Amino acid sequence: MLEQFGLKRPPSPLTREQAFQARPVRNPALKWRLNDEDNVEIIVPRRSDRMGRILGFLFYVPETRPLVLDEVGTRVWQLCDGERTVEEIVQVLSDQYILDRHEVELSLTAYMRTLGRRGMIGFLVPEEMARELGEQGRELVGLPGVSSRSDLEKARAQADQEEASPNEAEGTEAGAGQDTAAPGAKDETDQTPPQGGTQ
């Protein structure tokens, strides 16, 4: 709010080098699995904002729906483990798929930006980078309620415990609900073959 009136400076944008040192991490609140084709299938919850509640009231919108990633999207998802930097992920994809490094950088950054905006991944960053982003005191940015490695480990442990619980019911239906597909993803009902890359 203060930024709009020029009273507070917006956080300075990160340099390319700084952004490539971030370590992407999957949102531990999302459930996912490998399907029969060895592609990642993420269980996406229904939107919980006002629009999601209105749509859920007016139409039948299931609580969750599957989002199936293509081969490259699956590989990126698996590499978002909080251990590898964006730079290292670029190198792995460039080597594995024999692609031009610049092409991988452009596609990967756009894909990760989309995943980040949708709350599917967050980024572990050094303290000085968090400060530049206006996220003072946070080690992990982009995931609500998770601000440090210890928070991340607790959330992962809680997700593992919930997954082990036999009382859990999954109400997924293909193709229903709000469209939240990211580049490199297709709905389960989409019969087009994987593109072999991110868009």
Per-residue pLDDT at 166: 54
Work out the pLDDT band at 11, boundaries 50, 70, 90.
low
More confident residue, 6 or 15: 15
Vertex 65: Cα angle to 162 and 167 (nearest 5): 30
Q: How far apart are CA 147 and CA 1, in angstroms?
A: 23
Q: Which of 121, 123, 122 is nearest to 18 (CA)?
A: 123
Q: How far apart are CA 67 and CA 177, in angstroms?
A: 11
Tokens of 60: 């039948």
Q: Determine contact, residues 44/77, Cβ cutoff 8 Å.
A: no
Per-residue pLDDT at 130: 87
Mean of pLDDT values over 67-74: 95
